[in-house]
Amino acid sequence: MARFLLRRLIQSAIAILGTITLVFFIQHLSGDPTLLMLPEGATREDIEALRRQLGFDRPLLVQYLDYLAQLARFDLGQSLVQRVPVADIIASRLPYTLFLAGGALIVAVGVGLPVGILMAMRRGTRLERFLMSFVLIGQSMPTFWSGILLILLFAVTLGVMPSSGVDGVRSVILPAIALGALTMATFARVTRTAVLEELGRDYVSTARAKGLRFRHVIGRHVLRNAATPLITISALEIANLLAGAVIVETVFAWPGLGQLAVQSIAARDFPIVQSIVLLSAFVSIALNLVADILYSVVDPRIRLEGAT
């Protein structure tokens, strides 16, 4: 177990270093990053001054090492527009994104899991086909369109929900549904496949032959064994929710990290954009690590494979 953990930790560290390197060099894709950070029509003196201030006049390698050292101190730099540390701005927005992502996860698991189980139990029936089309619709709806339709229906026409912004727990419902729909579809499909695979196994026939009720077999035996693929998919899906927040937050004027990223691009506040991308990559790497560890706890075969 210890060797497996160590190997995965080293892999994650390499992935983090690689991500930082990638994000650093993307910044230099256009040649001169100073130009990204100034409003159009800045004078040549302005450009020179900022270039020197941010250290872009130094050799690339020096800048890179300096950037690594800075990140190692958990220093994300300064916002170019607001002149305050990026970390402070992100910290003030993060709770909103977590709140939204949490709501979306509840929607996704709360609907996706039962739908997936039901589809597997009623395989080949009309109910399964109906649920499958429900899942396909959830999968194919662009979030910005479903968000707009939800606003149009519940806020503009019926007037029962706030259309945008944060105003109590009620205001998270519509954005959470819009954001959670795609994840719901994924959960439902993975659950269906996993449960179906388990249903075909001998222990299910044995349990049924012993006279156990179908519901009992599903609840006590099948779901436990089907949990393994769900753990892996959860890690990926939570990372996807954070990324999907970029669009949903823009639609609902939700003051989270996604909206901040879009606003910062418009304001040419590059350090903020960079930090948000890094943060979400870290979260996704960390979630994958956690999923792998959980996975190996549930299924010892993976651990053994890693040790050889």
Residue 164 sits at φ, ψ, to 5 deg, of -160, 170
Q: Which stretch binds another protein (CB under 8 A): 53-61, 75-83, 205-213, 274-282?
A: 274-282
Q: Which stretch binds another protein (CB under 8 A): 40-48, 78-86, 199-207, 280-288?
A: 280-288
Residues 38, 42, 47: CA angle, nearest 5 degrees? 70
CB of 293 to another protein, least distance (A): 16
Q: Is 55 in the site for another protein (CB under 8 A)?
A: no
Binding mask 7-46 toward another protein (x if CB under 8 A, else -) reads ----x--xx--xx--xx--xx-xx--x--x----------
CB of 210 to another protein, least distance (A): 28
Residue 26, C-beta contacts closer than 8 angstroms, at least 6 positions apart: none
Question: Which of the residues 180 through 219 are near another protein (CB under 8 A)?
Answer: 193, 196
Q: Which of 53, 70, 92, 140 binds another protein (CB under 8 A)?
A: 140
User: Would you say 136 or 304 has its CB closer to another protein?
Assistant: 136
Q: Is 225 in the site for another protein (CB under 8 A)?
A: no
For 104, what's the count of Cα atoms within 13 Å in the CB-facing half-sphere? 30
CB of 284 to another protein, least distance (A): 5
Tell me the β-bridge partners of 85: 78
d(Cα 107, Cα 97) in Å, to the nearest integer? 15
User: Would you say 78 or 275 has its CB closer to another protein?
Assistant: 275
Q: Is 266 in the site for another protein (CB under 8 A)?
A: yes
Q: Which stretch binds another protein (CB under 8 A): 66-74, 96-104, 218-226, 273-281?
A: 273-281
Q: Which of 118, 195, 226, 281 binds another protein (CB under 8 A)?
A: 281
Q: How far is CA 176 from CA 91, 139, 166, 277, in A?
A: 21, 15, 12, 22
Q: Is 284 in the site for another protein (CB under 8 A)?
A: yes
Count CB atoms within 10 A of the CB of residue 180.
Answer: 29
Q: Is 121 left (phi over 0), alpha (psi -120 to 50) or beta?
A: alpha
Q: How far is CA 261 from CA 17, 52, 158, 195, in A?
A: 22, 25, 32, 39
d(Cα 254, Cα 96) in Å, to the nearest integer? 8
Residue 290, C-beta contacts closer than 8 angstroms, at least 6 positions apart: 235
Q: Is 165 in the site for another protein (CB under 8 A)?
A: no
Binding interface with another protein (CB under 8 A): 11, 14-15, 18-19, 22-23, 26-27, 29-30, 33, 36, 123, 136-137, 139-145, 148-149, 151-152, 156, 193, 196, 239-240, 242-244, 246-247, 250-251, 261-262, 265-266, 270, 273-274, 276-277, 280-281, 284-285, 288
